[in-house]
Amino acid sequence: MKFELTIVQIFCHGNLITGKETRTAELVSQAIHSGFRFIDTACQPKHYNEAGVGEGWTTAAKELHLDRSDLFLQTKFTPFSGQDPNRLPYNPDDSLPDQVKTSLKVSLKNLQTTYLDSLVLHSPLHTLEETMSVWQTMESFVDDGKVKQLGISNCYDLDFFRSLYEQARVKPKVLQNRFHQETNFDTALRAFCKENGVTYQSFWTLTANRHALASPEIKEWSMRMDLTPQQLMFAFLMSLGYITPLSGTTSVKHMAHDVAIMERMEGGETFFADQDELRRFAQLLGMPML
């Protein structure tokens, strides 16, 4: 089994500008030097510096003698409702299909690539009809060889996701959602993903579960395995076989920790002896089911 961790580059939220946006290229380069090969970003200037991601991966690839095929680049089309009206990557007066086409052109230019490994719809639109209009345009990119696979993010309604999946000609390969107790850890959605070969990408994975990871039992468990609680959390998710956790760290130390757990798992180490141990860890998180 191939275990994956994705470095996610989210550098500014709302009115809180941390200064990280100007460090995007540096941080992406550091992540690749640390061993990350899967990069997630978005064509959403409000929260992401997509061009910085492009600069970062190309710099690191040159220094490490990596080919484009050694990296997995995933970005998103963000509908108007999720954009800053003053920093739009497309003309809001254009039709939805044209907005999606322009966004792709901008992303390819920003990321300095001729194709994307994955293109994700950042969130459902107001109606299924509008969502399918965007999805069908994204499908045309797969037909043209500009995109290898499609996905959707911030979709927490099982009926909606099932309808999208059933109507789509090119089926979603990725569902990227916040992973926390308030949404019941997407139990029903994750079951659907598992049944249909959809990778569930978790974000907000550590932040939203900070209290559980600080519990005495998880601390003792991680120490026994020579891991940090955060590494054990990532090992748990990857052990389920269909979840890719997203790491948003800007710490080189934590980048190394993240890559180390993935490499140890790829080397054959197991951190959960059986399904009972996986279920016990899930209980400590508050997850009703695996």
pLDDT of res. 211: 96
Cβ within 8 Å of residue 129, ≥6 positions away: none
Q: Residue 17: is its pLDDT beyond 70?
A: no
For position 19, what pLDDT does the model report?
43
CATH of 6-285, one of 3.20.20.100, 3.90.1300.10, 1.10.940.10, 3.50.4.10: 3.20.20.100
Full-model pTM: 0.94
pLDDT at site 63:
98
Q: Tell me what pLDDT residue 3 has.
A: 72
Q: What are phi and psi of 17, to 5 degrees?
A: -105, 115
Give the C-alpha separation, 109 to 115, whole Å.
10
Q: Are 75 and 115 in contact (CB under 8 A)?
A: no
List, in sequence order, every residue forming a beta bridge with 174; answer none if it has no partner: 151, 199
Number of C-beta neighbours around residue 7 at 10 A: 26
pLDDT the model gives residue 12: 33
pLDDT at 9: 54
Stronger pLDDT, 229 or 250, i.e. the higher one: 229
Share of the chain above pLDDT 90, in %: 90
pLDDT tens, residue by residue, 72-107: 999 999 999 999 999 999 999 999 999 999 999 999
Residue 8: per-residue pLDDT? 63
User: Residue 20's pLDDT is what?
Assistant: 53
The pLDDT tens digits of the residues spanning 233-283 come to: 999 999 999 999 999 888 999 999 999 999 999 899 999 999 999 999 999
Q: Of 160, 132, 7, which is closest to residue 73 (Cα–Cα)?
A: 7
- Here the tokens at position 22 are 């100007």
Whether the CB-CB separation of 36 and 254 falls below 8 Å is answered with no
| Confidence bin at 1 (pLDDT 50/70/90) | low
Share of the chain above pLDDT 70, in %: 94
Give residue-wise pLDDT tens across range 138-172.
999 999 999 999 999 999 999 999 999 999 999 99
Residues 240, 289 contacting (CB under 8 angstroms): no
The residues with which 75 forms a beta bridge, in sequence order, are 119
DSSP state of 266: H
CA–CA separation, 58 and 141 (whole Å)? 23
- Mean pLDDT, residues 22-49 taken together: 92
pLDDT at residue 248, as a whole number: 87
Mean pLDDT of the chain: 92
CA distance 143 to 123: 22
The answer to whether residue 203 scores a pLDDT higher than 90 is yes
User: Which of the 8 DSSP states describes residue 272?
Assistant: -
Largest Cα–Cα separation, the chain = 58
The helix/strand/coil state of 217 is: helix
